[in-house]
Amino acid sequence: MDLAASATFVAEPEESGIMKKPPIDPKEKFMNRSMLQSIFTGALSLFVAVTLNFLFVWFQTGDLVHAQTMAFATWMLGHILLALNFRSEKEPLSALGFLSNKVMVLWAVLVAFTLFVGTNLPIIHSSLHITYLSLADWALALFVSFVATFWLELKKIRDRRREYGTSAPA
């Protein structure tokens, strides 16, 4: 993740029930197996999304710059969605509250705005080897990014319901 995204995690409120958890063993590694597995699956999901969008656009249009731009947009949008997903290891975004970390929301809006402006400013196109994206392109990039990351949220919702029973809020 980029430095700005990482910095937004500092503003993340504590998870519910944090004081009811037993202390973490001081000998346990910070990046334990669970964290590494989460990072790997998130990265793999984003890699698959970016690759699929790149190949789809490239085979449809034969335009390498267009395919690269779609891959870039998919990667950036997926990066935002993964950051939102990684706010909690166990709590789904619906339980945390989308706006509970305003610093992260501000970062996400700024990244999305910069991406949109960057793909629409011809002066930037040649230096980044990108081009304009149509509304359909944006929809595809957002859809693929969402699908590639949302299954992680569904897993957290499922795990939460298993832990608390079917009456647990999503």
Q: How confident is the model at residue 170 (pLDDT cuts 50, 70, 90)?
A: low
Average pLDDT, the chain: 85
Tell whether 114 is covered by a domain: yes
The residue ranking higher by pLDDT, 96 or 83, is: 83
The residue ranking higher by pLDDT, 112 or 19, is: 112
Tell whether 25 is covered by a domain: no
How confident is the model over 54-76, as pLDDT tens digits? Answer: 999 999 999 999 999 999 999 99
As a whole number, mean pLDDT of residues 154-158 equals 84
* pTM of the complete model: 0.81
The number of distinct structural domains making up the chain is 1
Candidate from 27-41, 96-110, 115-129, 155-169 with smallest mean pLDDT: 155-169
How confident is the model over 36-52, as pLDDT tens digits? Answer: 888 888 899 999 999 99
Tell whether 88 is covered by a domain: yes
Tell whether 134 is covered by a domain: yes
Question: What tokens appear for 169 in the block?
Answer: 């809020």
Tell whether 16 is covered by a domain: no
Tell whether 121 is covered by a domain: yes
Q: In terms of residue numbers, what domain contains 102?
A: 32-164
Residue type at 77 in one-letter notation: L
Tell whether 3 is covered by a domain: no
Rg (CA), the chain: 18
Burial class (CB in 10 A: 0-12, 13-18, 19+), 138: middle
